[in-house]
Structure 1
Amino acid sequence: MLHLANRAARLFLIACALAVAACTPSGDEAAEPRTEFNIGWSIYAGWMPWPYAEQSGIVKKWADKYGLEINFVQVNDYVESVNQYTAGKLDGVTVANMDALTIPAAGGKDTSAIILGDYSNGNDAVLLKDASKTSAIKGRDVYLVELSVSHYLLARALETNGLAMTDVKTMNTSDADIAGAFSSPEITAAVAWNPQVTTMKGVPGTTAVFTSADIPGEILDLLVVDTATLKANPNLGKALAGIWYETMTLMAKQDAEGAAARAAMAKLAGTTSEAFEGQLATTYLYTDPAAAVAAMGSPDLVTTMTRVRDFSFAQGLFGQGARSADAVGMEFPGGKTLGDEGNITLRFDPTFMQLAAEGAL
């Protein structure tokens, strides 16, 4: 798998995406009506409903309703899944809010977030060995997926505890490798997300000193789709919303049927039912579409994305040509915008969640 090993590689990807965008027709001209689509996903508690829905026949049910074929494609390395979407190999992908902004959107790929699935409420964590306070991180090498939500969580942890990024040294590590690396005695600090966090917390002497529960609502998990593809194929959005909320209803059941669905998701994630239930306990799932619509329309989302984009710009994630944090434009429900209104490439679109809330799918 290709992995963004460092800042230069990530900026190279952005430069390539900009070059592709410059040669690609904009708006509706960039996509035509189609019947087959590929959606990428990687292992994470909040995203396991998608492969389960495919396995259980829920995907086929909704795809058939709209005369579509929807394929869910597993990519073992999370960042690579976003890379493949950015490169046009996937029509949509499961992605965190920061990474949607800094990879496809910053690269000029007009992207619409159509499902607000959850926010991490403890699934992402700063882990230290032989320490119980975040302040003990000072001077340590911190292993993490650089320039990802883990990097953002580290920055927020340091900021909250009166420290700066210069107080630590980050060591880039793939999410596929980080749990194994953390078992080495010489590695004493890391930032990761579940299911890796669950494994890493089992290393003797390890404490989660700061988690996403300390910044609720800031690390959001989304399903995003190429905007032009969505405009040309609105039934794709309807089918995806139908799939998601039918699966949410099922997995939220506190009975044998719900337990069986969650157990199947655990198996797909390569973990035990007990461990998966623990991960769900630190994931705030928007099982009710009306609640997701309200969250997407809240001023809190604009505040969160302001903080995220400011961090991203400070880390150079908008590319060398970006002169300010306003370089990448975002659009929110109700016509609200943030950043360059002439360069809106990330859109929070509640249209299909609203249809689900109204029972109109």
Structure 2
Amino acid sequence: MSKENEKDQVTKFCVYCGTTIQNNTTYCPNPECGKLVVNIKPGEDNIDHAKPIQKPIKREQSSRKCSNCGSIITSNILEQCPICDSRLEKIPEQEIINQSKKQQSHQGYVFTNKKLVPEQKFVLKKSEWNFREGISVFGNALMAYVTIRLIITMLLALPSVTIDLNMTTILISQAPDIVFGIYPLYYIYSKKHNLKKLGLIFKKKSLAIATIVGIAGSIGLVLIDNFSSLIIRFMYDSGINFYDIFTYLDEEYFVLQNSNLLLIILLVILISLSVISTELVFRGVLHKTLKAHFDNNFLGKASIIVIVALIYSILFLFFTLPIGIYFFLVNFMVSIFLGVIYEINKNLFSTIMANLIYNISLIILIVYF
């Protein structure tokens, strides 16, 4: 009975003139008004008053201002400004955790080149290269290599116009290649990223397979080396004979064969370091970076291998002129072969192993046979 009394006690009024409205009335009974009124169901007033309208909650976003270009960055993931590449000040970890809890479904965007790009594209992953990140690391490593190479060339050529071929110059010439891979390693450790980002996988099974593939690959490199003598002879006989390459090779073999054992061991160590360094840069950084840009199909993989091989061959051609002209095609074939090995095994240890065995075997053959 109390509920029925509550229903009867509900009083409605015309919103235009204030006249009392009876139940089941469609129009205002006031002759001067007569407008259409809303038929409110009993108890609806109570429901509306019980649940007040909630205002939309504004999400608090932590923003940072770039000290260089003044851009406002609202992303808590980016470590550098996407506009000018300047370093951004770090956000406290607790603030990042709180933001991630509040904005789990939030997708951020960065405005670049007249379009919005998802901020995930700029995220630095610990095990994979971002395209822009990888190209930047490769460029810095290349800059270090070029700088050291030019300094050594100027120092060696300072007393005379030409550089004398001796064991000292052979040992010193390995320095730029060794320096080449220092920056990528520094970058990985400074960012606390995983060495898997460089293609180094330390699992026992993967290492065992990489060793087998590397040994088989070294045999392929030896075959390419034997074929290279035919290529050089063909180039020389075809008219590219402005430099006596065979005399140079004989002089190099003579220097190695007349060096003492300690210098040969030192040379093997330096060549091993230069091989590791070169593989870290070309396969660990450049090859893996291009994989983030090209499709994961045969055409994409082939394009990556060819691009890396071209960059490798052109770089060493430029810094070993005129000798590099005769070895350009050989270096290109070697880099193609190493790229194929890496794509087969996906572990950088396989290409390092193949290159190490090949170079050490070559020195032993030159010195003792």
**Please, what TM-score do these two structures have when normalized by structure 2?**
0.25
Bigger radius of gyration, 1 or 2?
2
- Give the number of the structure with larger relative contact order, counting CA–CA contacts within 8 Å between residues 6 or more apart: 1
Answer 1 or 2: which has greater strand percent.
Answer: 1
**Please, what TM-score do these two structures have when normalized by structure 1?**
0.26
